[in-house]
Amino acid sequence: MTTVAGIDVSKKTLDICVLLEDGKKREFQVSNNEEGFAQLLVKARKCGGEHLHFCMEPSGVYHVGIAYHLVEQGCTVSLENPRRIKYHGISIGALQKTDRADARIIASYCAKNCPKPWAPASPEIRDLMLIDRRLCDVLQMVTQETNRLESGRLPDVVRESIEQIVRCLKEEEKSLRKQLVAIVESSDELTRKYNLLCTIPGIGERAAIGFLAEVGDLSSYVSAESLAASFGLNPRIRRSGTSVHGQTRISKMGNAHARSRFYMPALVAIIHNPLIKAFYERLVQRGKNKKCALVACCRKLVMIAYGVLKSGKPFRCEVSPLTI
């Protein structure tokens, strides 16, 4: 019998709620560090046995340590979308908003829904993801500092300071790009996937590496639609009866880092990829606004990338008259 436990993660502490077979709960708090991780496992196994299923919400970087520690100790760990847990709490009438109450809601959600186990990425994929995200941060900082130079009447000291920071950031950008390429080239499998992705018009070096970094093991996705949904690119329809006809939007219930990687490639693809271009033009002709059509092209591009990697064959553009 597997015992379910919910963990509410914060910067310094972890609040745990263990659901026992008799319906009772065991609640405790430990520090969010290596010493606390060991205490958590001892206390949870003491009251719940050896077979434990832990569930938690991704919380920036604060959940990473405990998640990896539990998996390494042979426990089942699930990382669930906070929005799903939030609405589960509403459905069971949870009124309180405290760390302890959140741990109870997470445990209840896990017991009712049995979420799928989280599989940690391989070390090379994890390094690729962290370096790629760091590169995105650096590029954002370059843009911010460069924009500051546009301000009028800057003192010379301030202008020189900004220019120096921009130079340092651009040097760091070059270093991070080299490290990303080195990781891809060090693996035959990553190199093969990278080359396949680059056969798709619209997907270049940054998008290909970002896709590999964020997706990880493709076998964990049952279809191209499920991959697009994990990016938060699945449509969310809002209609009811004859009075409610809301605008269809994407759910955004997914990996925002991965989703952001495909906006610019989609812009390129609607010009240079005949398949995406035909798809975009068809949507616009049907009355979709251009932004909505562009987002749909993002989803289409993700699904094409999935198909190329799944088949192991380079992209071939075959646009039939029906597609156009």
Domain extent for 136: 123-186
pLDDT of residue 324: 38
Q: What distance in Å separates the CA atoms of residue 207 and residue 205, rounded to the nearest whole number?
A: 6
Q: Token digits for 299?
A: 């989803």
Nearest partner of 256 among 9, 60, 56, judged by Cα: 60
Instruction: Please write the tens of the pLDDT for every residue from 213-269.
Output: 999 888 888 899 999 988 888 877 777 777 777 777 777 778 888 888 899 999 999
Give the distance, in angstroms, between the CA of residue 318 and the centroid of all CA atoms in the same chain: 31
pLDDT: which is higher, 229 or 55: 55
pLDDT of residue 281: 94
If asked whether residues 254 and 163 sit together in one domain, one would say: no
Instruction: Please write the tens of the pLDDT for every residue from 276-300.
Output: 999 999 999 998 889 889 999 999 9
If asked whether residues 109 and 11 sit together in one domain, one would say: yes
Q: How many residues are present in the chain?
A: 324
Tell whether the model's pLDDT for residue 271 goes beyond 80.
Answer: yes
Q: In this structure, is residue 88 part of a structural domain?
A: yes
pLDDT of residue 298: 93
Q: In this structure, is residue 69 part of a structural domain?
A: yes
Q: Indicate the pLDDT class of residue 318, thresholds 50, 70 and 90.
A: low
Q: What distance in Å separates the CA atoms of residue 196 and residue 3, rounded to the nearest whole number?
A: 43
If asked whether residues 174 and 231 sit together in one domain, one would say: no
16-20, 93-97, 138-142, 198-202: which has the minimum mean pLDDT?
A: 93-97
Tell whether the model's pLDDT for residue 208 goes beyond 80.
Answer: yes
If asked whether residues 96 and 25 sit together in one domain, one would say: yes
Nearest partner of 223 among 306, 322, 286, 295, judged by Cα: 306
Total of domains in the chain:
3
Inter-CA distances, 8 with 11, 28, 29, 85, 90, Å = 10, 11, 10, 11, 17
Q: In this structure, is residue 191 part of a structural domain?
A: no
Instruction: Show which of 155, 186, 217 is a domain's final residue.
Output: 186
Residue 56 per-residue DSSP state: E
If asked whether residues 213 and 137 sit together in one domain, one would say: no
Tell whether the model's pLDDT for residue 137 goes beyond 70.
Answer: yes
Q: In this structure, is residue 236 part of a structural domain?
A: yes
Instruction: Indicate the average pLDDT of the chain.
Output: 90
Q: What is the CATH number of the domain that holds 11?
A: 3.30.420.40
Q: What distance in Å separates the CA atoms of residue 76 and residue 47, rounded to the nearest whole number?
A: 17
* Contact (CB, 8 A) for 208 and 268: no
Report percent pLDDT > 90 for the chain: 70
Q: In this structure, is residue 130 part of a structural domain?
A: yes
Instruction: Show which of 113, 147, 164 is a domain's final residue.
Output: 113
CA angle 11, 12, 14 (to 5 degrees): 90
Instruction: Show which of 67, 84, 113 is a domain's final residue.
Output: 113
Helix axes 188-197, 156-185, angle to 10 degrees: 110
If asked whether residues 85 and 25 sit together in one domain, one would say: yes
Residue 248 per-residue DSSP state: P
Q: In this structure, is residue 195 part of a structural domain?
A: no
pLDDT of residue 96: 86
pTM, entire model: 0.82
If asked whether residues 83 and 130 sit together in one domain, one would say: no
Q: Regarding beta strands 25-31 and 249-250, do their DSSP bridges make them parallel or antiparallel, or are they unpaired?
A: unpaired
pLDDT of residue 174: 97
